[in-house]
Amino acid sequence: MTTEISSPTGSGLTTGDRSTAVAESLKRFARIARQSDHRKGIRAYKTHVRRDPWVPALFVLLFVLPLTLVAGYLYLVASDRYVTEARFALRPALGNVDKVNSEKTGDDDSQTNPRQMIIQDTLITMNYIASRQMVETLERQRPVRDLFTRESIDYLSRAKPDVPIERFMRYWNHRIETKLDTTAGIITLTVAAFEPAESFDLAKAILAESERMVNELSIKARNAALTETIRELAVAEERMLKTRIAVRELRNRGGVLDAKATNTSNLTMLAALRKQRIDFSVQLGLGMRDLSADARPIRDLKAQIRDLDDNIEKIERQTASSDPNEQRILSDLMTQFEAYENQRKDAETYYAKVLSAHEAARILASRQVEFFTPVVEPIMPLSSTEPRRALWTSITAIVALLVFGLAVVIRKYSFQ
């Protein structure tokens, strides 16, 4: 096919002939475009779709059928689930147990990091709610499995009644969920059941059992703290008694009740005796001027001075002596008394602190240490919120449409 414009006779073309020739040429170009490869371009793609008999079948198979099945199950078969939500937080009671040790008493190690204690108990509670022990404990109070295995519940939503507890726990964790707000420390509990009253009652039972578990968990710690304070109290009392007995025995051996008071008394006596000796010495000097050495007043003064010297020497020997074998030296007794007195004061101080910690532990052991603080109380649901029919139907439609489009593209380019 040619697009050349010419006259059969070879003569020049008129304006009308030229217009006719251009029109014929445009018709020829249009016929050439229609005869080109139909598999290329948007028009070719539409033509391919219209001519491929599998496209409608793929549309029905990949889009219409899945969407119909999902929508039919959700709106006609699926059982309604009623969700009860509760929010609570764990908080310690006011007051605490003083943990006593042999080196430092009155320290409260349980209060060194109360936030860590609260976080730990919160995580324990969340794990307990999702545990097998929780299910078995509730089973002894109410038929938990019957709530999820009734014949009135659709087949895909209910649990099998004869499955072992290990497999039932998977179903349990899909119906009972907990979430933790790490900023505020609030636990959110959601319970999904197939009747409003069942959902509400189950949520209340889970909260009550969780609170009981946390309190029971702290009983061992409280009893351990009380036992420890009792043991430390016995040790402190024995230590104080031994120190007092040692002081008493030292008094009996030394023959003095109070070494410090005795030493003060001896010093006072020494001062008085020395002053008296000085007075007698002055009198003796004055008497020697007028009387002879054999005169009776002179002899009496000398005898009194000798007695004073003996007494002064005796007291000084008792107060301080260089003889290591002397057993009744007051300075040695004072040193021992001071050591025992310091031990006695330390023992009495330690005993007082241990006694105070014991009283605190005894009081705390008789009351609740940690309790649940409700933030949002569980309320019986009035309408079902699950399954989310519109949401899952929309998701199914979008996914099915994408799969259908992908299948059409793959078929076009795989079989061209």
Q: If you write DSSP's letter for every residue of 134-169 in order, what string do you get?
A: HHHHHHTTS-TGGGT--TTS-TTTSPPTTS-HHHHH
pTM above 0.75, yes or no: no
What would you measure as the largest C-alpha separation in the chain, in angstroms?
A: 198
pLDDT at 127: 92
Tell me: pLDDT of 1 over 90: no
Q: Do the domain assignments include residue 106? A: yes
Do both 330 and 285 map to the same domain? yes
Look up the domain containing 201 and give its range.
70-234+366-414
Do both 142 and 279 map to the same domain? no
Do both 294 and 260 map to the same domain? yes
The mean-pLDDT minimum among 37-46, 219-228, 301-310, 338-347 falls in 37-46
CB 224, CB 99: distance < 8 Å: no
Bigger pLDDT: 71 or 281?
Answer: 71
The whole-number average pLDDT for the span 270-275 is 76
Contacts of 262 (CB under 8 A, 6+ apart): 256, 330, 333
- Note the pLDDT tens digit of each residue in 28-74: 766 665 555 544 544 554 555 556 677 788 888 888 899 999 999 88
Strand partners, 191: 84, 176
Do both 114 and 188 map to the same domain? yes
Do both 382 and 343 map to the same domain? no
Contacts 24+ apart (CB under 8 A), 397-403: 397/63, 397/67, 400/62, 400/63, 400/66, 400/67, 401/63, 403/62, 403/63
Q: Which two tokens stand for residue 235?
A: 């040790």
Bigger pLDDT: 41 or 261?
Answer: 261
Instruction: Give rounded-to-5 percent helix, strand, coil for the chain.
Output: 65, 10, 25
Q: Do the domain assignments include residue 160? A: yes
pLDDT at 273: 73
Q: Do the domain assignments include residue 137? A: yes
pLDDT category at 3 given cuts 50, 70, 90 is very low
The rounded distance, in Å, linking the Cα atoms of 223 and 221 is: 6
pLDDT at 101: 41
The rounded distance, in Å, linking the Cα atoms of 71 and 12 is: 75
Q: Residue 220, class by beta-carbon neighbours within 10 Å (0-12 exposed, 13-18 middle, 19+ buried)?
A: exposed
Bigger pLDDT: 347 or 203?
Answer: 203
Percent of the residues in the chain that have a pLDDT greater than 90, as a whole number: 14
Q: Do the domain assignments include residue 33? A: no
Do both 108 and 89 map to the same domain? yes
Q: Is 97 helix (H, G, I), strand (E, B) or coil?
A: coil
- Note the pLDDT tens digit of each residue in 389-410: 889 999 999 999 998 888 888 8
Q: Do the domain assignments include residue 48? A: no
Residues in the chain: 416
The mean-pLDDT minimum among 144-153, 216-225, 374-383 falls in 216-225
Q: Do the domain assignments include residue 263? A: yes
Q: Do the domain assignments include residue 65? A: no
How many structural domains does the chain have? 2
pLDDT category at 109 given cuts 50, 70, 90 is very low
Do both 96 and 229 map to the same domain? yes
Bigger pLDDT: 76 or 298?
Answer: 76
Do both 223 and 323 map to the same domain? no
pLDDT at 228: 81
pLDDT at 410: 81
Q: Do the domain assignments include residue 272? A: yes
Do both 267 and 226 map to the same domain? no
Percent of the residues in the chain that have a pLDDT greater than 70, as a whole number: 70
Q: Which two tokens stand for residue 366?
A: 């008789």
CA-CA-CA-CA torsion sign (238, 241, 246, 249) = negative
Do both 225 and 287 map to the same domain? no
Q: Residue 225, class by beta-carbon neighbours within 10 Å (0-12 exposed, 13-18 middle, 19+ buried)?
A: buried
Strongest mean pLDDT among 126-140, 226-240, 341-355, 360-374: 126-140
Do both 356 and 394 map to the same domain? no
Bigger pLDDT: 36 or 352?
Answer: 352
Q: Is 377 helix (H, G, I), strand (E, B) or coil?
A: coil
The mean-pLDDT minimum among 52-61, 208-217, 220-229 falls in 220-229
Q: Which two tokens stand for residue 284?
A: 């003796």
Do both 230 and 97 map to the same domain? yes
pLDDT at 255: 52
Indicate the average pLDDT of the chain: 75
CB 95, CB 363: distance < 8 Å: yes
pLDDT category at 261 given cuts 50, 70, 90 is low
pLDDT at 182: 84
pLDDT at 60: 87
Tell me: pLDDT of 301 over 70: yes
